[in-house]
A and B are shown apart, each in its own frame.
Chain A
């Protein structure tokens, strides 16, 4: 009986921990890309690859490696426009999502 109680406890403790602890996973608030009214679009010809859009993106929704072009993850980009505002050469267009 003592062993049964221990087995039950271990199962339930595991369940408790599973239910108390949340694991990092994209989309903890759902597909936040649907929040967008405007879509930031990188104009690759104009981009100077400085990485400022990457640096300032509050969502970490921009992938960038030094020397490369930025790539925006539209599944989660909320369309705040901080990257558009911070681009020093105005290489990110802000395109209305409506159409």
Chain B
């Protein structure tokens, strides 16, 4: 059966708002921050015009935005918020409190650099600060995928095997403010696929007295952490399943936790995440034309981390290049560390840090990075890969 869809040209922020409308979200709380603001402006318009039957809480801070949707989720509603950069950092305490309460909701993060200096352009530092909390964390490559992940977010988040909050990342401006055609399933299709939220795993209601999160034996804290770990682990299966199912209602699937691009016969693997993966793919194509056996592994989900997928790729290739848009100061790029922790020396991993603060990184740059990576490997100069490379060709000390 052909999926019933509607196609519109939308900027990324509006695409996310459309997903919220189709998901029939009941409570939205948000605070403005560039480049996310357009999402919640559009949702405010939907709520006031009656396109979306929801409560819109105009909170006084991001901390309160996440606190308010936490309350809504605890009371059994389907809830959504969105933010960027400093807004996410201001939410940080609530990010943990919410996730460790084992409650589902969706947060759209329009990625943006953390200051100083003030910089509203994208990198992935904000998104990756959440990686240690029990969130399901996804990152889109294009506007279509930002829409798809937002809608799938509710399905994954509310699945009884998961019941954890879901973060969908999309690169600030590159996706949030860029218009692309977006194919969307009809409301009827979405309603059949995504039924109203059930108040699981627990719900706060009058007359049912219990205290959520009393002090107690330290062992209980550890046991609760382990149970959260189990739920994050289960999310792998659910993510793959929802990705496959989604094909039936939308006509698209992505490959689960990762996207594999020209990998089947690749000897060299580039790992990227987010919108610039498009540029990296362009570079891969160009190098393939020259006969370089390179492919790309795109990380779609940071949490749970695609361990099996990475291992599978490592098993069939010579070396991995991880191009990172975030850095863990004093060690390496964040994804570089993540990939290395899975590969564990099976094959050499090179890590390049690039594009911080939205620094323009085009396919020529990726071509340059990949070319040098292959040369270094083939001439046996992988010993210097212990340290990440900072890709700043313009920079003169």
Instruction: Give A contacts to B, CB under 8 Å.
Output: 2, 5-6, 8-10, 12-17, 19-24
- Nearest chain A CB to B271 CB, angstrom units: 28
A16 surroundings in chain B (CB, below 8 A): 102, 201, 224, 227-228
Choose one: A9, A17, A19, A24; the contact of B161 (CB below 8 Å): A9
B376 surroundings in chain A (CB, below 8 A): none
Q: Are B210 and A22 in contact (CB under 8 A)?
A: yes
A5 surroundings in chain B (CB, below 8 A): 161, 234, 237
Instruction: Give B contacts to A, CB under 8 Å.
Output: 101-102, 160-163, 200-202, 209-214, 216, 220, 223-224, 227-228, 230-231, 234, 237, 241
Could you tell me the distance between the alpha carbons of A9 and B202 in the complex, rounded to whole angstroms? 14
B161 surroundings in chain A (CB, below 8 A): 5-6, 9
Choose one: A8, A10, A14, A21; the contact of B212 (CB below 8 Å): A21
Q: Are A19 and B211 in contact (CB under 8 A)?
A: no
A8 surroundings in chain B (CB, below 8 A): 230, 234
Could you tell me the distance between the alpha carbons of A98 and B249 in the complex, rounded to whole angstroms? 76
Could you tell me the distance between the alpha carbons of A6 and B200 in the complex, rounded to whole angstroms? 14
B162 surroundings in chain A (CB, below 8 A): 9
Q: Are B214 and A22 in contact (CB under 8 A)?
A: yes
CB nearest to B163 among chain A residues: A13
Choose one: B101, B211, B231; the contact of A9 (CB below 8 Å): B231
Q: Are B163 and A24 in contact (CB under 8 A)?
A: no
CB nearest to A6 among chain B residues: B161
Q: Are A13 and B220 in contact (CB under 8 A)?
A: no
- Nearest chain A CB to B161 CB, angstrom units: 4
Could you tell me the distance between the alpha carbons of A10 and B162 in the complex, rounded to whole angstroms? 10
B224 surroundings in chain A (CB, below 8 A): 16, 19-20
Q: List 25 A-B contacts (CB under 8 A).
A: A2-B237, A2-B241, A6-B161, A8-B234, A9-B160, A9-B234, A13-B102, A13-B160, A13-B163, A15-B227, A16-B201, A16-B224, A16-B228, A19-B223, A20-B101, A20-B102, A20-B202, A20-B224, A21-B211, A22-B210, A22-B211, A22-B216, A23-B209, A24-B209, A24-B210
Q: Are A13 and B216 in contact (CB under 8 A)?
A: no
B213 surroundings in chain A (CB, below 8 A): 20
Could you tell me the distance between the alpha carbons of A2 and B236 in the complex, rounded to whole angstroms? 12
Could you tell me the distance between the alpha carbons of A5 and B163 in the complex, rounded to whole angstroms? 14
